[in-house]
Structure 1
Amino acid sequence: MDFAFDARTEELRERLLAFMEEYVYPAEPVAAEQRARLASPWDTPAVFGELKAEARRQGLWNLFFVDQDQHGLPGGGHGAGLTNLQYAPLAEITGRSPHLAPTATNCAAPDTGNMELLAQFGDEAQKKQWLEPLLAGEIRSAFAMTEPEVASSDATNVETRIERDGDAYVVTGRKWFISGAMNPDCKIFIVMGKTDPEGADPRRQQSMILVPRDTPGVEVRRAMTVYGYEDHDHGGHAEVVFDGARVPAANLIGEEGSGFAIAQARLGPGRIHHCMRLIGMAERAIELMCRRAVDRTAFGKPLAAQGVVQNWIADARVTVEQLRLLVLKTAWLMDTVGNRGAHTEIQAIKIATPRAVVRILDDAVQLHGAGGVSQDFPLAELWAAARTLRLADGPDEVHQRSLARRELKRHM
């Protein structure tokens, strides 16, 4: 593995860093001010549209899509055509402003995973109706899997029903923490439910289906808070009820019983994208810690001269360098041997990265005192996002269980 960025990656990094400095960071307070004046907190501030237009103009759009031939994109040319290894340092940069930069570049979850899913498993009509407007940034989407009544970390527990009725399917169930669903621009749900609840193979009971938001029987009931935040910039995390929502049979993605396999395929890239952005969050936290340590004095000397502060900063730098190497190795393996071949590393970064970044952010909050838990700095919101990622895409313990079993199997 070559640790140097190639010319294409370096060129995009320079452009993206300039875009962040000139447009994204100055837009952070603007977005907050505009949102405070909106009729609904879930409406999108105008500055988002301005950022997206500028990102498209500069060619910083759909960077997350890897080589189009691998995904079978219709007509090609929708993304930058990067590999995972090329995209990793770019996602890290956008992670420095996770509520603005990914959306501005059309690289925000859950849309990224949904676009990859549709590109890989959707038919031509589904791609035309939903993938193309998602790629163009004209609409948003949501992925509806997690349920309040079962342990959704085990996808076989999902209870939502997808029942065939003539030339249609009827969807019934309750989901929650459905990211992006509060955004009025969210026009489509990819819903995971059971088409064969009595099937012998518990991993062939589930299917995925496209349910437009305006389908009768679909109710976006409420926004769930995350550590007290409603996460307006990401479109919230909603409770959604499907009460006999009827959609055409053609909305089924793939075939009946393929839902579990599709979910696993979707989660691999999603997990590494989160970890890439988390490193960017950690880098911003280190930067803020250093600035605070230099600017503030306590007990007769600058905070930067306090031993405990120096330890925090040193440990953070060592941790970030370790995590970055592991994430880059994982991206390289995904490109060279595929997601299945990189299974161990994907799980390893999902376990290690959120946990370590939470610690770095916690130290940064501590260094900022009362300001660290306030809205005047991004640290509290970054901490909440990082801590949530120890649950999203599977909690730590699920990945530890799977990783340990793979290790033990070699010795049995």
Structure 2
Amino acid sequence: MVSLFVIAASLLWSHWYIDFAQGCIAAEKDALLKVKAQITEDPTMCLVSWRASSADCCKWSRVTCDPDTGHIVELYLRNCFFKGTISSSVGKLTKLKSLNVYFSKLNGSLPAEIGSLERLEVLELQINQLDGEIPSSIGRLSRLRVLDLSDNRFTGSLPASIGNLKALEHFRVYGNSLKGTLPESLGGLTALETFEAYDNQFRGGIPSSIGNLTKLRILNLYSNQLNGILPSTIGALTSLEMLVLHSNRLRGAIPESLKNLVELETLALFGNRLRDFIPDVFGSLKKLQFATLSDNRFRGDIPTSLASLDKLVSLDVSRNAMSGQIPEALAGSSGLSNLDFSDNQLSGVIPMKIMALPELRYFNVSNNRLHGQIPQVGRFSASAFMGNPGLCDAPLPPCTASSEEST
């Protein structure tokens, strides 16, 4: 009886060995041929070697197999400029770790069978013409580290199941037509370092669960229809380097917790409906280089804590309702190359030390209530000073006795 078992086991092993020796797993080869069948155009001939007559699909172009098991572990179909659709048969490649079909013209929906690829670590389908909703089955890809669906035509909302992707580090869905609110389940992506969902139609607020993403370095949600407040939990993102939320409808005040973002280099909040005073929290943001707060409803003084940022390159608070004077202490940020204070209600004189900053290339204080002689340093056009009736001297008309008396 034992010998019969040994013989049977040997036959099964030899059958597998012969099958693998001749090529990849037969079922996976069949799945690849079905994937190819739904590609209607292959102008760069990426799939020219994918033929039924070719036994070893592990030797086909753009295919990588595990050398020990023969299972397909990677499909690298980048820059193939395909036309066609994604076959549901891709779900049969259950050992696949990486699927990259970047930069083609694939259309149709992302099949629900994608959720069968539970070993998948990288899914890159950016720059195609895929449409429909993102299937909720994507939440089964628990090993996924990179998910890039950007620059497609996806609609609907982000499925709540996205929060199950505990290993996800980079998540990009920008450049689609996604709607609805950002789900609270995003807070489950605790390994996330990059989240880019700009150029969509998301509405509502930024979920308070965002504070759970303590490894996040890039948060980019510009050009949506977000209309809530900035949650105070955003202050928990102590690894954040880029906070880009411009061109939305965000309202309320900037939370004081912003002071905790000590790694922040870029802050872009322009084109929202933020209001009240700009909190004096910038003193702790020692790495901040670019701060753009224009086109909001801020009022009050320009925060003096900005003066302590020696890495600051660009500051734009234009088109608000800022009042008070331009703080001379800003001259301490010697690397400043861009300063825009235009279209506010600033008063007083222009500090000479600021205009004399050695790296200053763009300077605009137009349409304020400034007065006095323009410091004769730097070379800026008249448009930088227009709309301040009390200002005089080059490049505006020269000061007169009456204008000097008024100052």
TM norm structure 2: 0.20
Going by fraction, where is helix more abundant, 1 or 2?
1
Relative contact order higher in (CA < 8 Å, ≥ 6 apart): 1
Structure ID, larger Rg: 2
